[in-house]
């Protein structure tokens, strides 16, 4: 009986376990519905809310708690400590102190809040309530633009009424929100006043700006909200990471007895390449009074952090390469602790034949534009006069094409035809390898000394045009415009508002952007947080523009605000 009773109990346990492990059959569509807020207290827009109130939020789904906690912003900050208490789908928020009287509070739940299936909220949610008898109604909106993911970017508003120069790396903002997956954001229920806005890619999640780590976006003007003008839109940002690292020399090595290569930590800001003695010195390690003369230097066309130096004949000694007065592209100076490097000199003569490392047109290419420029990059400096004298550019193998040579550096040359090439025409470039040599007299080592190509048909190309109007009558600087497709990019510029034209472009789907170059450096300036430097004004044209061959797309008018 005991044995039978034990077996019965064991069978019952097995049955219970099997039943308990049963689940709803798999299958069906994956849940991709964004979570939402079902109920919240205090009620949105509530006034005369008690100062000891607690906030309760009911979500439509069970949430990943830390994604919500990290995405909650309360403005102004209500207390030294905030406590988050979860029970199922419900979150209760309590404070270590009472709220201030006669104050509008804004609770924002950022778009990065996720449910257990990692579905994020569609947009940030903002709730306003007041411990007084009215709700502030200010609203600032716009977009965040970046080469990387913009979803969840913090958009921060700092009041300038008490602090004219807020430092986002040191103080918390008065108002926060997060951008959605398309970069759109809305700061709601803001009190009247003057504000400075920043967009921060808050990687360390401290709600402050960490230079060199967080991406940051700067506005081009501060925002004033008044009782009459409560809504300001199109406050947009372009994100960038501020370069705070000093430039330094990474390595140097001898190529042969008259050439060395030096690599820096990052691309170097342009300097006077024709006067290398103003920036570089090479001395023997054991006798700094004995220097090695630098005859010329140039930047590697393929790597702007690498420079080549032609020197007097070296000896098999250790040399010290030292540099000064250089800057990186961001304007950071040289780290003087790492401004020099040792390398071993070489007594080996240059016996290596130069090769063509890059050519802008390859052999047997078709569809070349008629306004193309030819470019050749060599592995080392070559003798320029023999190259120009022996360079043959022929149309239909008979007619010589006239043009001008431009040497970008001793190893890079461009050829500009005097006039546009003809459509749908065969061209040939001949480079006699037995007459082209480097400085040491080594002749060109390249099996392909002839390049054949054909230009495209006139019916292939198209155009995009329109007007750009700068609404700021005091706007200064050229207006730079860019049209980009997945395969091609074109640029043009204007002195002032007026008609623009991207002519002779390949068909495709393009996006157009523009900026006003206020500092006249020919590139977009992102601005600076501290000390504050406003970003340049820019615009991304809202619509993608599709153009087909022979069908120009006109009337794409742009307003720069």
Clarify whether residues 430 and 301 are in a common domain: no
Residues 164 and 358: their CA atoms lie apart, in Å, by 53
CATH assignment of the domain containing 75: 2.60.40.3710
Domain boundary among 309, 344, 379: 344
Alpha carbon 312 to chain centroid distance?
Answer: 42
542: confidence class by pLDDT, cuts 50, 70, 90: confident
- Is the pLDDT reported for residue 4 higher than 90? no
Domain boundary among 241, 268, 286: 241
pLDDT digits (tens, 9 = 90+) for 123-145: 888 889 999 999 999 999 999 99
Clarify whether residues 222 and 181 are in a common domain: yes
Q: Is residue 23 situated within a structural domain?
A: no
pLDDT of residue 422: 96
Clarify whether residues 364 and 436 are in a common domain: yes
Clarify whether residues 529 and 390 are in a common domain: no
- Is the pLDDT reported for residue 26 higher than 60? no
Give the number of domains in the chain.
4
Clarify whether residues 82 and 162 are in a common domain: yes
Clarify whether residues 377 and 499 are in a common domain: no
406: confidence class by pLDDT, cuts 50, 70, 90: very high
> Which tokens hold the place of 372?
């193309």
CATH assignment of the domain containing 489: 2.60.40.10
Q: What is the pTM of this model?
A: 0.80
Q: Is residue 349 situated within a structural domain?
A: no
In the predicted model, what is the mean pLDDT of residues 378-401? 94
Q: Is residue 24 situated within a structural domain?
A: no
Clarify whether residues 292 and 372 are in a common domain: no
> Which is it for strands 392-395 and 287-291: parallel, antiparallel or unpaired?
unpaired
Q: Is residue 252 situated within a structural domain?
A: no
Q: Is residue 246 situated within a structural domain?
A: no
> Which tokens hold the place of 326?
């250089």
Domain of 445 in residue numbering reads as: 356-455
Clarify whether residues 520 and 374 are in a common domain: no
Clarify whether residues 502 and 395 are in a common domain: no
Domain boundary among 316, 344, 372: 344
Residues 36 and 57: their CA atoms lie apart, in Å, by 10
For 252, the 3-state DSSP assignment is strand
Clarify whether residues 77 and 57 are in a common domain: yes
pLDDT digits (tens, 9 = 90+) for 138-187: 999 999 999 999 988 999 999 999 899 999 999 999 999 889 989 999 99
> Which tokens hold the place of 475?
């706007």
Q: Report the chain's mean pLDDT, rounded to a whole number.
A: 91
- Is the pLDDT reported for residue 519 higher than 90? yes
In the predicted model, what is the mean pLDDT of residues 89-101? 94
């Amino acid at each position: 009986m005991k044995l039978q009773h034990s077996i019965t109990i064991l069978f019952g346990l097995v049955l219970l376990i099997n039943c308990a492990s049963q689940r709803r059959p798999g299958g069906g569509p994956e849940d991709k519905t964004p979570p939402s807020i079902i109920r919240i207290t205090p009620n949105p827009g509530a006034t005369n809310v008690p100062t000891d109130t607690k906030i309760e939020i009911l979500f439509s789904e069970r949430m990943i708690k830390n994604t919500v906690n990290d995405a909650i912003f309360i403005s102004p900050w209500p207390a030294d400590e905030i406590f988050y208490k979860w029970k199922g789908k419900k979150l209760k928020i309590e404070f270590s102190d009472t709220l201030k009287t006669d104050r509008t509070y804004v609770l924002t739940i950022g778009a990065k809040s996720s449910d257990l299936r990692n579905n994020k909220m569609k947009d940030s949610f903002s709730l306003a309530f007041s411990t007084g008898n009215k709700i502030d109604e200010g609203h600032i909106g716009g977009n965040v633009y970046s080469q990387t993911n913009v979803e969840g970017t913090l958009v921060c508003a700092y009041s300038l009424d008490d602090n004219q120069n807020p430092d986002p790396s040191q103080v918390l903002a008065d108002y926060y929100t997060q951008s959605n997956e398309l970069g759109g954001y809305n700061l709601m229920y803001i009190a009247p006043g003057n504000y400075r806005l920043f967009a921060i890619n808050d990687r360390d999640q401290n709600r402050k700006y960490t230079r060199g780590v967080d991406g940051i976006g700067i506005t081009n003007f501060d925002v004033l909200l008044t009782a009459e003008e409560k809504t300001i839109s199109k406050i947009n940002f372009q994100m960038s990471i501020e370069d705070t690292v000093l430039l330094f020399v990474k390595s140097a090595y001898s190529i042969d007895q008259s050439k060395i290569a030096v690599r820096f930590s990052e691309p170097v800001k342009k300097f006077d390449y024709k006067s290398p003695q103003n920036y570089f010195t090479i001395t023997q390690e054991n006798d700094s009074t004995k220097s090695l003369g630098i005859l010329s230097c140039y930047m590697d066309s393929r790597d702007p952090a690498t420079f080549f130096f032609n020197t007097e004949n070296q000896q098999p000694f250790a040399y010290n390469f030292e540099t000064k007065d250089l800057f990186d592209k961001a304007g950071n100076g040289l780290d003087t602790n790492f401004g020099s490097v040792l390398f071993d000199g070489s007594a080996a003569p240059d016996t290596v034949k130069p090769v063509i490392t890059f050519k802008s047109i390859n052999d047997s290419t078709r569809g070349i534009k008629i306004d193309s420029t030819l470019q050749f990059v060599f592995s080392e400096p070559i003798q320029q006069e023999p190259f120009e004298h022996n360079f043959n550019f022929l149309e239909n193998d008979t007619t010589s094409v006239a043009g001008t040579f431009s040497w970008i550096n001793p190893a890079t040359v461009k050829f500009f035809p005097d006039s546009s090439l003809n459509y749908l025409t065969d061209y040939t470039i001949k480079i006699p390898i037995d007459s082209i040599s480097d400085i040491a007299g080594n002749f060109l080592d390249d099996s392909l000394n002839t390049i054949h190509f054909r230009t495209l048909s006139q019916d292939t190309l198209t155009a995009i045009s329109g007007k750009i109007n700068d609404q700021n009558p005091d706007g200064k600087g050229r207006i730079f415009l860019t049209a980009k497709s997945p395969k091609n990019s074109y640029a043009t510029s204007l002195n002032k508002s007026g008609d623009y034209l991207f002519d002779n472009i390949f068909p495709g789907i393009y996006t157009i952007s523009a900026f006003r170059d206020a500092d006249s450096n020919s590139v977009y300036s992102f601005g600076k947080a501290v000390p504050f430097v406003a970003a340049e004004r820019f615009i991304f044209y809202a619509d993608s523009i599709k153009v087909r061959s022979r069908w120009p797309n006109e009337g794409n008018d742009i307003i720069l605000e």
